[in-house]
Amino acid sequence: MEREHREIDGGIEEYAAGLEAGAEPDHDAADPAPLRRAMEGLRRHIYLEEEFIFPPLKASGLMMPVFVMLREHGELWDAMSGLDDLLATGANASVIQTACQDLLLRLDAHNSKEEPVIYPQADAQLSDEATARLHDFLADGRMPDGWKCEKATR
């Protein structure tokens, strides 16, 4: 799970670096593919946490940390929707760069809580069956079409 965090951050950072390079003469506009892959990966990551990890943790009594994670997932989801809109409308590179930096800051704050609190609890609380389902999904699972995280407003 933490590896996915690094891969997602890396895709956003790669795109943001391309935007910065694109501001220099003789450079083409940044290729949005790394950003799109990162956001697709983040949406899938949020799905697996909300569907596979959070329910057993809530059932074990870890309500407040899960609530915080759900709220932050909604904020991340909405930030990604905003980035989708910026890309679709061909917004100015500096505006997109700012949105990417905002997403990275949100991810850093989120992951700095999730990794030391949620993941150790998941390791301790998930049943063998739930862990197997999670590993199967990590290997090749797809988020259902149209799925949206619980607290997303967009």
pLDDT value, residue 65: 95
What is the sign, positive or negative, of the torsion defined by CA atoms of 69, 109, 74, 40? negative
93-103: burial string, b at 16+ Cβ within 10 Å, e else: beebbebbeeb
Residue 95 confidence (pLDDT): 92
pLDDT at 100: 96
Position 28 scores a pLDDT of: 52
Total-model pTM: 0.92
pLDDT digits (tens, 9 = 90+) for 64-108: 999 999 999 999 999 999 999 999 998 888 899 999 999 999 999
What's the pLDDT band for 24 if we cut at 50, 70, 90? very low
Q: What is the C-alpha end-to-end distance of the chain, expressed in Å?
A: 25
Q: What is the pLDDT of residue 104?
A: 97
Q: How far is CA 122 from CA 13, 40, 65, 68, 126, in A?
A: 28, 23, 12, 16, 5
Q: Which residue has the higher pLDDT, 154 or 149?
A: 149
Mean model confidence pLDDT for the chain: 91
